[in-house]
Structure 1
Amino acid sequence: MNSLSIEALYRSESRRVLATLIRLLGDFDLAEEALHEAFSVALERWPQDGLPDNPRAWLISTGRFKAIDRLRRQARFTPLSQAQADALEAAEWSVEDVEDDRLRLIFTCCHPALAPDAQAALTLREICDLTTEEIARAFLSTPTTIAQRIVRAKAKIREANIPYQVPSLAELPERLDSVLRVVYLVFNEGYSASIGANLTRDELSGEAIRLGRLLLALLPEPEVMGLLALMLLHESRRAARTSASGELVLLDEQDRTLWDASLITEGCALVQRALSSRGFGPYCLQAAIAAVHAEAPHAAQTDWPQIVGLYDVLLGLLPSPVIALNRAVAVAMRDGPLAGLQQVDGILARGALQDYHLAHATRGEFCRQLGRLKEARSAYEKALSLTQQAPEKAFLEQRLAQLVSASMP
């Protein structure tokens, strides 16, 4: 067992271990310290002793004992630490209890006592292990602001004694909206990473789908079905979204034989179940749009009028400039690039999405198709200045190079 193997295990298991340590220790910061101490011990022992039969249980147990030791050392200065350490040592726990700890943790992070922006920041930090810098980029904020939100959220959980548990069935519906929103944020960061050399982060999208399945088992409501369907249908395209060399491949150019048919089948079935309930909302409608794409054998056979119609309904339920931008793309596919450009210019004129790279990239694409090369170049350059993701940067640089070539006599 070498350090690289332990690093891989950290990536796959650390959030599970942390969730359980938070439950056992009742303190975010103490649990995070215990997690890192447990992995430090693993780096020392496992190369010599070999991998334990149950690494996750070993890490949880080691972290728990390290936390107890830390509290006992602090007892000289804080008498309450001794009582806390004694209580932790006396408490019973079992490895069988740990599987749903991440679900408990996400409901804690999304408690209504916390502000929505704090819910999202705390979830992305604690459940997904994103750095404050990565979260800041995802929210177009600063690392200092994000760090302050996380610190305040942890303090609120501690001071208000917010329980570490899944709500009762009676409380669950009113608590669900914030959880679904955060799960989708996690998925989006995995499906299209906000920064880095890779377009996707498989571990995040996989974790979001796992959480979605847990939520569906707990509460089979239409919007839970819709969110899970939406994630599955997007995830089905993963293998086709980049070339063998890691370059971005647009939806209409993807090799659809690479799409995962089993995920499409599961996602479309969930869409049908959700829509038949007539109690659906925005996630179901977005999943229905994704299903129309998934059911088209070729890009040219996509039912764009139906997609525009679904976006019209979606905008009525959830007015959003990003949804309006996506609708503009659908309008362009139905009515031509000029119609799409008019829609995008209207969004930008209203002051929305000025700092959103995809808005400017979309405008650049419509201008390119219309032969308005100077405008296209300006829009692509603006998009390039706003993106932090290597594959998207490379794609935009390629588009700009094509424009230069097209402009040469």
Structure 2
Amino acid sequence: MDNSTLVKPFKSINRWHMLGWLLVAQVMVAFIGRSLAPLGVLIGQDLALTKAQIGMLPAALFLGQSIASIPAGFIVDRIGSKRLLLYLSFGLGGAFMLMAISSNYFFVLLMVAIGGVGYGTMHPTSNKGILHWFQQKRGTAMGIKQMGVTLGSALSALLLLPLAAAWGWRMALLAACALLMATGVLAYRFYRDPPSAEPHEPERKISWSYLKESIGAMFRHKPLVLLSIAAMGLSGSQLILNTYIVLFAYEQLGLSLLLAGMLLVISEVSGSFGRVAWGIISDTIFKGQRLIVLVYIAALSIGIALMVTQLPEGISFWAIASVVAVFGFCISGFNGIWMNAATELVPFKQAGIASGFTLMVGSWGVIIGPPLFGYIVDLSGDFNYGWFFLSFVLLFVIVLLLWAKRLANKETQHNKGV
């Protein structure tokens, strides 16, 4: 009786309107968090940073995200999405505002990491909101919300870089952070949490010992471990492309800063299409064989990375844009296939812990990859050595994926035999 009266006022709320606020918040959070890639060249010039130091900026962001992801999940379960939308907006916006008024590199790095906590909190916050509001069409709703990540990143390169070139990166970032905070206030004002998510189901409590046992089982699952290490290379390569394509095109190929920034937009938009297309390809052409699709993605990316090393200075914008579009389609389009592969390697009841495990391992590629690429470029004075390094990493990824596929096939045959 209580439940029906409690839920009644919420029936007049349009769940698609709630999705709209989650999408707007996701776009703005990505708009600020992903601004480090297009603004990296200007921040580097202002603070006299090496390429490796520029690469540390997105690494710090994703370190903050990795620290935040599990605690944020616990917190959103307790206080809901509505309040966290406000808190994370002010956390990310406030940290990046402090970064924008500082000239001390280590303080800038610290603020980026703290901002990464807000950035990383957005994923469990928005996911929880969708799980609450969408019992049907949940996949569609989640897909729409996920568009906010690449859309925010593309808008950052499309809008923030020209503003930074005109006003300076500090003023542009301060204005963008103020807009993020205003969005957080509006989302808090208009977004609503449902009174209960599936109130008919009792809350399950998982003990620490059960959690340790589950994580230990993931470490013992060799195909999953190999896939997760391979995902480190793929994730790191993806962020290397996003972090350095603007610098590479501007410094080595001689493109203007605005045209170089457009390459990042092209890469991100192509990656969005890639995430959908590779999923369709894996379902239809390869009949659900995700690991072999990842092998093809890595192999194509090697070929394109080697092609990038042959691009001459003064090449036309459209020539490099076509190469970057294919590069982004491959190396930024692998994420959905990776998640599907991880959950399909284990029994269905372990799909959740497998997702968390592979994300935990794979995220270290994002933290390590860009600074290492930048260090190689600093040491050699030539971006081409960095692209050769990326190709070598992806070759190692292919070896790991083929090994994982072989072990997974053995397990399948063994289970069928039993």
Is the structural similarity TM-score above 0.5?
Answer: no
Relative to total residues, which structure has the larger helix share, 1 or 2? Answer: 2
Ranked by relative contact order (alpha carbons within 8 Å, sequence separation 6 or more), the top structure is: 2
Using structure 1 for the length normalisation, give the TM-score: 0.30
Using structure 2 for the length normalisation, give the TM-score: 0.30
